[in-house]
Amino acid sequence: MRLRFLLIPLAAMALGTTSCVSSQVHKDLQSRYDALEASHLEALRLKQDCKDALELAERQRTECSEERTALMADTVSLGRSVRRLEKNYADLNKSYDFLLENNNSLLASNARENRAMLERLRDLDEAMQDKQDSLQLEREALEQTKTRLSDRERRIDELERLIDRQDSANRAVFQRVASALKAYEGKGLSVEERGGKVYVSMQNSLLFPSGSWTVNAEGKAALAELATVLRTQPELRILVEGHTDNDPYLVKGTVADNWDLSVMRATAIIRVLTQSGGVEPARFTASGRGEFDPVRPNDSAQNKAFNRRTEIILAPDFEELSRLLEEMGSGATEAKAP
């Protein structure tokens, strides 16, 4: 996802020189924020779609396995029927040969019965041929089902390997980030892994002076350590979310409220990671959540300090996983086609 607020700091700097914010600039900032919020919701929807597609693949795999078991049972039953017919056919042939060789008179006197028997033999022969044809069709259908099931199992195995590989990569990223930022433990910084993503949460006291969006020296040092890890993990996508407590932002100037402040702080973090840390800007997305996503109730100074934070969320690139799920979805559609 592209960095959508790259121009906001430039606009903010330009507006700062005039000591006032025009109504049009405010509307532009609001529009950009609304676009980012929509993009974030779309990303959540895509994540849910991937999860639903994976669950569908698991159900379809179970259905294919049950269908395979049923077809194998049908094949065994048809085989028994064919063997019974073949035995009946052999017995009738023996009876027919015996009558021809040993009892011509009986054949002559019972011609009607013999004709009926011959008709029965022909009927049995035709029935057996029909059964054999049906069995052949069943065998062909079974082979096609086996082929589809094998292909589906291969794709599921590939999907499981990809997920395991991404989980392993996430754990490795978590360990590297935690190790790189170990010196800042207990100073308002935490690292954890949730839902296949790595969350680096930094309280604003570590990063910014009160009411400001200028990163201080200690914050820049911590971000420099994080940047050393991010540069070696180019496949990661990085979302930077700014958060505030629910105290109103009362300073008049470029920033109108807590939402604006959280966005400015998120973009300030990205600017440090890209300009000083050397991380590719296209990997970032900036987001401002304002006071609306607290981790604790805003009922004490300590809890408010926890809510005033910036979260750097490291997520793997799901392009390969999405491609595999799309292939599995198209394969399921083909399997249902007549």
Most confident option among 75-84, 99-108, 185-194: 185-194
| Residue 319: pLDDT over 90 | no
Of residues 332 and 75, more confidently modeled = 75
pLDDT of res. 332: 53
Share of the chain above pLDDT 90, in %: 35
Among 136, 169, 202, which residue terminates a domain? 169
Residue 278 pLDDT > 90, yes or no? yes
| pLDDT attached to residue 6 | 40
Q: Give residue 1's pLDDT.
A: 46
Any domain includes 334: no
Give the mean model confidence (pLDDT) for residues 258-284: 96
How distant is the alpha carbon of residue 60 from its chain centre?
16
Region 257-280 average pLDDT: 96
Q: H/E element holding 201?
A: strand 197-203
Average pLDDT taken over every residue of the chain? 83
Dist. CA 273–CA 289, nearest whole Å:
20
Q: Residue 89: pLDDT above 60? A: yes
| Host domain of residue 217 | 8-59+182-324
Task: Examine the domain organization and report whether 44 and 188 are in the same domain.
Answer: yes
Quote the percentage of the chain above a pLDDT of 70.
82
**Confidence label for 10 from pLDDT (cuts 50, 70 and 90):** very low
pTM: 0.51
Is 115 contained in some domain?
yes
Q: How many domains does the chain have?
A: 2
Q: Which of 144, 169, 194 is the last residue of a domain?
A: 169
Indicate the range of 142-146, 160-164, 182-186 predicted with least confidence. 160-164
Q: Cα dihedral angle (107, 108, 109, 111), rounded to 10 degrees?
A: 70
- What pLDDT does 122 receive? 85
> Are 198 and 315 within one domain?
yes
In a domain, 154, yes or no: yes
* Domain match, 208 and 317 both: yes
| Residue position matching structure tokens 């779609």 | 49
Query: Above 90 in pLDDT, residue 219?
Result: yes
**Confidence at residue 112, expressed as pLDDT on a 0 to 100 scale:** 75
Same domain, 299 and 213: yes
Give residue 153's pLDDT band: very low, low, confident or very high (50, 70, 90).
confident
Q: List b or e across 48-80, with b for residues whose CB sees 16 or more CB atoms inside 10 angstroms.
A: eeeeebbeebeebbeebeeeeeebeeeeeebee
Together in a domain, 191 and 55:
yes
User: Do 51 and 186 belong to one domain?
Assistant: yes
- pLDDT above 90 (res 216): yes
Among 253, 267, 249, CA closest to 308: 249
pLDDT of residue 221: 95
212 and 233 housed in the same domain: yes
